[in-house]
Amino acid sequence: MNMKYAIIGYPVEQSLSPAMHEAAFRALGLDAEYQRIPIQMSDLAGGVEFLQQNGYNGWNVTYPLKEQMISFLDTITPIALDIGAVNTVKVLDGSLQGHNTDGEGFIESLSTKGYAFRNKKAVILGAGGAAKAIAVALAQREVGLHILNRTEHKAKRLAKHISALGGKASWGILDSGEWLKSVDLLIQTTPIGMKGEEYFFNLRGINSSSWVIDLIYHPVVTPFLSEAATYGCRTMNGLEMLLYQGALAWRFWLNMEAPISVMRKALLE
């Protein structure tokens, strides 16, 4: 029986998820396909109806639909409920089950590199769906958070949400500042740099022992990461997070372990 999966959001043309998942399907001999389906926020109701009517077994959810998707679900996992956003949906006996693998995918991408999270200070740039997932996952590991966003009230809302979950979080406007000197882990979650544009503030004065992560993976090295590297920081783009959140989505859909090495090879190619 042919299984059908997809990634929905807007835009999705550059998503590497199909390459990763289809390589995994082939490697394990599964009769399954994975497609890109562009759906804008205003079309989400019709998009969900299309996916259900056409027999999709599940889908990934990307920008800008991760939070709005929740209202279409029958059940949601505790972690997705804590985050307030969903990036993975499974269809089971006609009901829609929502999950979020972004936060744990991020943790896994750094854990496999030997990063130790406890008692570190992290600064998150942005306060959208991916930032929420990462913030919750880091707070669970006793990482102190400082959340910066262009609209400060969104940063404040996320910080207060983290505090309500038992974590430690402060907030501010998205700009450089004294935090650069003490940050251990800097995570860039906004779309700035996706078209190769410069970030709107510089990293002068950053703690050179910090790890700097940009969730963008196309281009492979954004101007933000390039600048961080000039200050001696260890840098990483979003490809490993994409890999591990995809492997966790695979586990949620299929109740089996994903072939990580096959998926990584497909992404790198």
Residues marked as catalytic: 66
**Maximum CA pair distance of the chain?**
57
Taking the C-alpha atoms of residue 255 and residue 140, their distance in angstroms, rounded to an integer, is 25
Of the candidates 65, 68, 143, the one whose C-alpha atom is nearest the C-alpha of residue 111 is: 143
Alpha helix segments (H runs only) across the chain: 17-27, 44-53, 78-83, 102-111, 129-139, 152-164, 179-182, 223-230, 239-254, 260-268
Collapsed DSSP state (helix, strand, coil) of residue 3: strand
Taking the C-alpha atoms of residue 207 and residue 229, their distance in angstroms, rounded to an integer, is 12
Of the candidates 269, 9, 214, 264, the one whose C-alpha atom is nearest the C-alpha of residue 112 is: 264
Taking the C-alpha atoms of residue 21 and residue 10, their distance in angstroms, rounded to an integer, is 19
Q: How far is CA 42 from CA 10, 48, 85, 163, in A?
A: 11, 12, 17, 32
Taking the C-alpha atoms of residue 68 and residue 85, their distance in angstroms, rounded to an integer, is 8
Alpha helix segments (H runs only) across 165-233: 179-182, 223-230
